[in-house]
């Protein structure tokens, strides 16, 4: 059942929060050993919460929009009293004293957290193989990646262990795993969702958003977690519209920009075929397809990996073994510098170290202007490309990823090939625009394929309306992986 349907059934008395919680915990018990989606399963906490919600309901008190709905939280968002590790050795044993704003808002709406999900360490990766706790597997093929960095959240929803999960998206970390796992993933406009309580990777790029099987559920979750938060200095004061009311199924007159020149080299034939079929489906409902150009989109990957690593180098400086994080064993003759070096060496994994070193390099004297400053200038050009395009179209459509899910270990020895998997997703983060990935088919060997819609700033309503319209004519989002 979808989150929306579960909420309706619980509110209507057809089932209880406890029964729903127990059913999902049973599913986790059966599937988790194969998939490894969770870092922590909070079974007793969840059951206590569900019992309290049922008592609340029997007392006739008002119910929240997610009353009794199970959710999972990416393990880089703080949860009071529950370990939060960012899948890193450096934060092993850390239990936050407070919850992230998004977690607090979900629980205020009646949601029941079942656990914390696996990710690439500090959200740095595209395959969830960079986790200190081991990789997550794709429920559609256990030999393949679920994508990253929010692979645990995507796998939990795809494996039907929870109907809703939260992820964070810095360069595609919600949309890419959503596509590879055959579910919906929404990255809202930058500043639309509070980052208070999210462990920072790249502060000008990070954004929190939902995973679900249906667009309706994504809209419902976003409606709950979105909106201004005084705890986050980058939080927008833009009013949240009624997103569920926007799901009319109507796309007549919607103008969809398709950057054909950007969809050529490197995109697998099955992905392109599924993408074009999705566009035909939307056109059949009355949308108009428009050829557009994004002349600077090809620079997205190098620009992203300069800006993101620079910000990561700065953000992760706090994990030094003194203020935050793992502290090494101190020997008698160790200096403070030795303690810093050894603590960080022991605590961080290879990919995090790579990005810290790259970021420190591009920010260093003599290289700042040549790399970081130029990257910011090209970022501005990319933003202008989209501003120009949105003068004539309402959304921009691309595949979400150039290929379906790749095998675990296939790209770990070649970081560039791994980074190129985000070619279609990084632009939305660099420009701050909202984007959504929607399942649109399968490859010959039954691997999910997704397409992406990118919209104007703060216009998630149009994205959700178009995506929901597509789901009304297709059934890809209803298909689930089969487990032996």
Q: How many CB atoms lie within 10 A of CB 59?
A: 7
Q: How many CB atoms lie within 10 A of CB 279?
A: 18
**Residue 75 near residue 85 (C-beta atoms within 8 A):** yes
- Estimate the share of the chain in helix, then strand, then coil, as percent rounded to the nearest 5: 45, 15, 45
Q: How far apart are the C-alpha atoms of 356 and 348, rounded to whole Å? A: 10
3-state secondary structure of 86: coil
> Which ranges in 182-299 belong to alpha helices (H)?
215-225, 269-284
The enclosing H or E element of 431 equals: helix 426-431
Name residue, tokens 């995109």: 267
CA–chain centroid gap for 268, Å, is 23
Q: Kindly list the catalytic residues.
A: 74, 149, 173
Q: What angle do CA 400, 421, 184 make, to 5 degrees?
A: 30
């Amino acid at each position: 059942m979808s989150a929306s349907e579960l909420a309706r059934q619980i509110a209507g008395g057809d089932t209880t929060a406890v029964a729903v919680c127990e059913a999902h915990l049973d599913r986790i018990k059966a599937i988790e050993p194969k998939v490894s989606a969770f870092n922590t399963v909070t079974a007793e906490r969840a059951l206590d919460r569900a019992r309290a919600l049922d008592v609340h309901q029997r007392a006739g008190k008002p119910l929240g929009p997610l009353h009794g709905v199970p959710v999972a939280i990416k393990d880089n968002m703080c949860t009071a009293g529950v370990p939060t590790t960012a899948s890193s050795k450096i934060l092993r044993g850390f239990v936050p004293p407070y919850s992230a704003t998004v977690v607090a808002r979900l629980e205020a709406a009646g949601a029941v957290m079942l656990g914390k999900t696996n990710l690439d360490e500090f959200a740095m990766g595209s395959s969830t193989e960079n986790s200190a706790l081991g990789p997550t597997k794709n429920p559609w093929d256990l030999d393949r990646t679920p994508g990253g960095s929010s692979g645990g959240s995507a796998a939990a929803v795809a494996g039907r262990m929870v109907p809703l999960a939260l992820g964070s998206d810095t360069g595609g970390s919600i949309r890419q795993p959503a596509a590879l796992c055959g579910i919906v993933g929404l990255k809202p406009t930058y500043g639309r969702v509070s980052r208070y309580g999210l462990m920072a990777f790249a502060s000008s790029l990070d954004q929190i958003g939902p995973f679900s099987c249906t667009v309706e559920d994504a809209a419902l979750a976003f409606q709950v977690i979105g909106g201004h938060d005084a705890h986050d200095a980058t939080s927008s004061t833009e009013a949240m519209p009624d997103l569920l009311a926007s799901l009319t199924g109507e796309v007549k007159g919607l103008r969809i920009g398709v950057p054909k020149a950007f969809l050529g080299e490197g995109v697998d034939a099955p992905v392109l075929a599924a993408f074009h079929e999705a566009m035909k489906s939307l056109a059949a409902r009355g949308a108009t397809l428009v050829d557009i150009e994004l002349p600077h989109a090809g620079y997205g990957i190098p620009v992203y990996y300069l800006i993101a690593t620079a910000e990561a180098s700065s953000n992760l400086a706090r994990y030094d073994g003194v203020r935050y994080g793992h502290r090494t064993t101190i020997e008698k003759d160790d200096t403070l510098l030795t303690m810093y070096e050894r603590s960080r060496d022991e605590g961080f994994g290879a990919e995090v170290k790579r990005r810290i070193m790259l970021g420190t390099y591009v920010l260093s004297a003599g290289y700042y202007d040549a790399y970081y400053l130029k990257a910011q200038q090209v970022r501005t050009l990319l933003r202008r490309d989209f501003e120009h395009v949105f003068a004539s179209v309402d959304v921009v459509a691309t595949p979400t990823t150039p290929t379906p899910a790749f095998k675990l270990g296939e790209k770990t020895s070649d970081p560039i090939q791994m980074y190129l998997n985000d070619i279609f997703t990084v632009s939305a983060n660099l420009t701050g625009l909202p984007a959504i990935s929607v399942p649109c088919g399968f490859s010959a060997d039954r691997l999910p394929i997704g397409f992406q819609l990118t919209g104007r700033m703060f216009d998630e309503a149009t994205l959700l309306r178009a995506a929901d319209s597509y789901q009304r004519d297709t059934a890809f989002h209803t298909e689930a992986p089969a487990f032996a």
